[in-house]
């Protein structure tokens, strides 16, 4: 399982806060810390609307993206901190200029946001780097994903796909967990889940349903300022989630063979039971169902599963209440 914690815009344009997120997320056990690279002039315009009008300090969406920018040296510092902490630095570019910047920073792969699936100019730019991509499918139909997959395959770009619902926060009825298997069957590549529900159970369920990659937004506090805060997991929640996911992954990697229960032989001797009689019975008594009880442990009387073979059998001797019943006790 490859687990991505997305800082996104939670750093609020502060390098110090961005570094703090890396330090905190490393402690949770995630595999990658992801950022978004927005270069306002290359990506936006004065015509771009706010998805949610959350900011009083930014007059336009363009102004917001401008405030979120880091310089090349600052991005290199963030990458260096990830390297020092032995966690992958991952980023989503939202323009060709952002790809140029990330190539200077140095990345192993690219994450493609849901809004860029049909941006073939950006995908062409990334394809020219020769690096693999992780593709979110949040706003795309299968027809659109098919086109993008064909585009990537033609250029021999390695890729994986994430089921994603572009809703903040995502309601349970909109998780689309069923799409994980559909994507796996359709494209025969590694498939994962990108979450915006701000709930632990979503990624846990995705893991159990076969996701090999998990992505979610991270925030120090969901009451924080920013467009994604209410759709994010807090640090302590992420730590719990990673532990749960690793446990489920371990379980899935060790399937049980129900045709072989030899591992439980010692426990079966403790928990399973032997037949006994539930009352004093005289010699010559014909056993009925109402005469029988089962008691621990197994192996001191006839197995409970074989009770039918003793019905209507005649006792050779009188028996005391709660004695174990064996085959030598009847004719």
Judge if the upstream peptide bond of residue 263 is cis by omega within 30 degrees of 0: no
What is the per-residue pLDDT for 168? 77
Its domain, for residue 279, covers 262-329
Residue 53 pLDDT more than 60? no
Q: Cβ neighbours of residue 39 under 8 Å, at least 6 residues apart?
A: 65, 69, 94, 95, 97, 98, 101
For 156, the 3-state DSSP assignment is: coil
Give the pLDDT confidence of 20-37 residue by residue, as tens digits. Answer: 999 999 999 999 999 999
What are the angstrom distances between the C-alpha of 46 and each of 51, 58, 113, 298? 14, 12, 21, 79
293 and 218, same structural domain? no
Mark which of 192, 226, 252 sits at the end of a domain: 252
Report the CATH number that the domain containing residue 285 is assigned in CATH.
Answer: 3.90.1210.10
240 and 138, same structural domain? yes
C-alpha 134/C-alpha 213 separation (Å) is 9
289 and 241, same structural domain? no
Mean pLDDT of the chain: 93
Kindly compute the dihedral angle of the four CA atoms of residues 313, 314, 318, 320, in this order, to the nearest 10 degrees.
20
Residue 170 pLDDT more than 70? yes
For 103, the 3-state DSSP assignment is: helix
Domains of the chain: total: 2
Query: Which of 36-40, 96-100, 220-224, 264-268 shows the highest mean pLDDT?
Result: 96-100
Q: Is the dihedral of CA 233, 235, 241, 242 positive or negative?
A: positive
C-alpha 198/C-alpha 237 separation (Å) is 9
Phi, psi angle pair for 236, to nearest 5° = -65, -35
272 and 247, same structural domain? no
201 and 273, same structural domain? no
C-alpha 179/C-alpha 147 separation (Å) is 18
Going by C-alpha positions, the residue among 9, 51, 10, 3 that lies closest to residue 234 is 10
Instruction: Evaluate whether residue 168 is within a structural domain.
Output: yes
C-alpha 79/C-alpha 275 separation (Å) is 69
Give the pLDDT confidence of 74-92 residue by residue, as tens digits. Answer: 999 999 999 999 999 999 9
What is the per-residue pLDDT for 65? 85
CB contact at 8 A, 7 and 218: yes
Report the CATH number that the domain containing residue 21 is assigned in CATH.
Answer: 3.20.20.70
Which residue spans within 122-267 are E strands per DSSP? 133-136, 159-164, 191-195, 213-219, 233-234
Mark which of 252, 273, 308 sits at the end of a domain: 252
């Amino acid at each position: 399982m490859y687990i991505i914690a997305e800082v996104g815009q939670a750093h609020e344009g502060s390098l110090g806060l961005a570094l703090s997120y890396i330090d905190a997320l490393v402690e949770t056990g995630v595999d990658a810390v992801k950022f978004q690279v927005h270069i306002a002039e290359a990506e936006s315009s004065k015509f771009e609307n706010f998805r949610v009008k959350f900011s009083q300090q930014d007059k336009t969406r363009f102004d917001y993206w401008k405030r979120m920018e880091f310089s090349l040296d600052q991005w290199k510092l963030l990458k260096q901190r990830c390297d020092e902490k032995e966690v992958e630095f991952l980023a989503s570019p939202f323009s060709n200029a952002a790809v140029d910047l990330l190539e200077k920073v140095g990345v192993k792969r690219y994450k493609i946001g849901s809004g860029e699936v049909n941006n073939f100019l950006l995908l062409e730019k990334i394809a020219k780097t020769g690096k693999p991509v992780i593709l979110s499918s949040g706003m795309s139909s299968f027809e659109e994903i098919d086109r993008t997959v064909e585009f990537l395959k033609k250029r021999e770009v390695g890729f994986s796909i994430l089921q994603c619902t572009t809703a903040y926060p995502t309601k349970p009825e909109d998780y689309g967990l069923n799409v994980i298997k559909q994507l796996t069957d359709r494209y025969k590549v590694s498939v994962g889940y990108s979450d915006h529900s701000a709930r632990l159970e979503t990624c846990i369920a995705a893991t159990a349903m076969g996701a090999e990659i998990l992505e979610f937004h991270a925030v120090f506090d969901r009451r924080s300022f920013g467009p994604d805060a209410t759709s994010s997991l807090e640090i302590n929640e992420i730590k719990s989630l990673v532990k749960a996911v690793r446990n489920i992954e371990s379980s899935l990697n060790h399937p049980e063979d129900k045709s072989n229960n030899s591992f439980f032989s010692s426990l079966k001797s403790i928990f399973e039971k032997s037949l006994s009689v539930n009352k004093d019975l005289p010699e010559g008594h014909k056993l009925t169902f109402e005469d029988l009880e089962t008691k621990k442990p197994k192996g001191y009387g006839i197995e409970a599963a074989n009770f039918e073979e003793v019905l209507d059998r005649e006792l050779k001797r009188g028996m005391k209440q709660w004695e174990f019943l064996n085959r030598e006790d009847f004719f």
